[in-house]
Amino acid sequence: MQSAAQISQTDLRELVTFKVGEQDYCIDIMSVREIRGWTPATVLPYAPPYVLGVINLRGTIVPIVDLSARLNLGRSEPDSRHVVVITAVNNQMVGLLVNSVSDIMSVSRSAVQPVPEAASEAAGAHIEGVIAIDDRMLRVIDLQVVIPSIGEREIG
């Protein structure tokens, strides 16, 4: 009993799982701010194809990334059934467009395996590891890579 309690404190990771196309992906729950339905975004000029635009989240301008396009799974045609997962990494807020959110689950850290060699380099670059659960495979997204970084230049 005691050991189980210890595990829950030190070794468990809570993940939000969702579907992109036909594949299962997940991200750490700590980086998720909220989950909301898709609303049309304002298009940004000169943006990469996977940036759908920006939306107004209670006064904050949040860019939306089409995760399917970002992971090279083809562009989505967003409609009201799509879901936006708002994430915050390093004070930067970005919404990820996914097909649907499936579950919140706790897994042990040791369950996360490195990305198999077989994965193509491009797809593998966005994933920090995989988790095999029952018959499914969950891909853990590396948010740092997926989210467009802010280009900043300062006067030295």
Name the residue nearer to other proteins (CB basis): 27 or 131: 27
Name the residue nearer to other proteins (CB basis): 64 or 138: 64
CB 136, min distance to other proteins, A: 28
The encoded tokens of residue 148 equal 């467009």
CB 106, min distance to other proteins, A: 29
Name the residue nearer to other proteins (CB basis): 4 or 150: 150
Q: Which residue has the tokens 């649907």?
A: 100
Name the residue nearer to other proteins (CB basis): 14 or 34: 34
- Whole-number Å distance between alpha carbons of 23 and 58: 31
Name the residue nearer to other proteins (CB basis): 32 or 62: 62
CB 135, min distance to other proteins, A: 33
CB 31 within 8 A of CB 88: yes
CB 111, min distance to other proteins, A: 27
Using CB atoms within 10 Å of the CB of residue 12, give its burial: 0 to 12 exposed, 13 to 18 middle, 19+ buried. Answer: middle
CB 122, min distance to other proteins, A: 9
CA 112 to chain centre: 16
CB 65 within 8 A of CB 76: no
Which residues contact other proteins by CB under 8 A? 40-48, 51, 53-56, 59-63, 91-94, 145, 148-153, 155-156
Count the alpha carbons within 13 Å of 124 in the hemisphere toward its beta carbon: 9
In degrees rounded to 5, what are phi and psi of residue 29?
-65, -25
